[in-house]
Amino acid sequence: MVKYFVGKAKIKNWDKEDVLIWYFPEKVNYSCVFTLNDVKAHPIIFSKEVYKNYKPVSFLFANSGNANCLNGKEGYKAILNIEKKLKDIFKIKETGLFAQTGVIGEDFPEKNVLEVLKNLSLKNFKDLKTKEDLKLCARAIMTTDSFEKYEYYKDSEFEIYAIAKGAGMIAPNMATMLCFVYTNASFSKDELDVVLSYAVEKSFNRISVDGDMSTNDCVFLFSKENGIKVDISKFKKVLTNILKSLAIKIVKDGEGATKVMHIIVKGAKNRERALKIAKRIGNSLLVKTAIFGCDPNWGRILAAAGSVKLGINVNNCTLLIGPYLLFSKGEKTKYDEEKVRKYMEKNEIIDIVLDLGEGNSYEEFWASDLSYDYIKINAEYRT
């Protein structure tokens, strides 16, 4: 069971919910995945230390509008002060996990948050149990997102509640994204570490909007300690599908995005090789801009694949955009360019399938296009 609160601290000059708190009245086990960036925000530093020592946690605090990153000792002190206040509100000794997102390098408006918390009590918290509850929680962590990202799963055995945010600074090995998941299924820390690592690798590590890695990314998975016992393989499959759905929503909501590339690299010697090539295609600015222009410029795709320098033989390769074969065994095919262009114009998700013709391994990757609006949004992000 999760109780939640959302509030308006006016962390930025906006009129939206920007503070989220999840409170766990019953004991939870948890697992975390953090950004791989050497430059880490204060909430990541704090939460990594909690996770490293596996301290008992009773709450999650998150905010949007300010990353609380690269802003000196005062930024870390703000987390400690908020932690102390929340412990007083919940009358607990346990700590919590922190996640923050927004502009890097600005002073964190601690007073704004503490003002929201000043008169807060458990009476202000609601049970997290409906999709509308999830939507409200997701809204509180949005920055440049254009819609709330959440998933709810329930069957005869267990439930999963999940929210995420992300639209820009999205690259493999996580992104400017936050994701929080709770389940009433019961697993140990070690079991949660295994399933979360697998699910993140198959979802959030398979997407890109702009190739930039953030300082604040994190995924937190909470499991009711004395919850329902379920088959871990089934849970892993369901969790992976949920995170994959959230990941694709992030790509669809990429800043200024109009199209999503679903890149499939098959016929590879091994999966690592296939994934490296798929990532390179998805992060190529020339490929992204061609997709935005609905231009079936297959030469850019093959050039990106070859730039990984893995020794692929182009004479063994075939390339399709949607159902149309554009290149085969070293030569351009006789395709109708207008039909391919219309396919790209009509569809939001563009399938790109590259067969290397060298083995049996397969990988897939999702990436957004790159539009004029992406430049406008990020040029004006702080104004």
Tracing tokens 């669809």 back to the chain, one arrives at 252
> What pLDDT was estimated at residue 175?
43
> What pLDDT was estimated at residue 174?
41
Q: How many CA atoms, within 13 angstroms, populate the side-chain half-sphere of residue 54?
A: 10
101 by DSSP, 3-state: which?
A: strand
Residue-range domain boundaries for the chain: 3-252, 260-379
pLDDT tens for 88-139 read: 999 999 999 999 999 899 999 999 999 999 999 999 999 999 999 999 999 9
- Pairing outcome for strands 159-165 and 324-328: unpaired
Which residues are CB-neighbours of 131 under 8 A, at least 6 positions away? 150, 152
> What pLDDT was estimated at residue 320?
98
Q: Enumerate residue ranges in the chain where pLDDT < 70.
A: 167-176, 209-213, 255, 377-378, 380-383
H or E element at residue 64: strand 57-66
Catalytic residue list contains 176: yes
**What is 260-379's CATH topology?**
Ubiquitin-like (UB roll) (3.10.20)
Q: Which residue type, as a one-letter code, is found at position 89?
A: I
Burial track 180-206 (b if 16+ CB lie within 10 A, e otherwise): bbbbbbbbeeebbbebbeebbebbbbb
CATH numeric code, 3-252? 3.60.70.12
Residue among 101, 143, 144, 176 flagged as catalytic? 176
Q: How far is CA 223 from CA 75, 128, 195, 242, 269, in A?
A: 29, 14, 12, 15, 38
Q: How many CA atoms, within 13 angstroms, populate the side-chain half-sphere of residue 357?
A: 12
186 vs 221: CA distance, rounded Å: 12
Nearest partner of 187 among 130, 245, 234, 150, judged by Cα = 234
Residue 62's beta-bridge partner residues?
A: 20, 99
Question: pTM value?
Answer: 0.89
> What pLDDT was estimated at residue 323?
98
123 vs 79: CA distance, rounded Å: 23
> What pLDDT was estimated at residue 176?
57
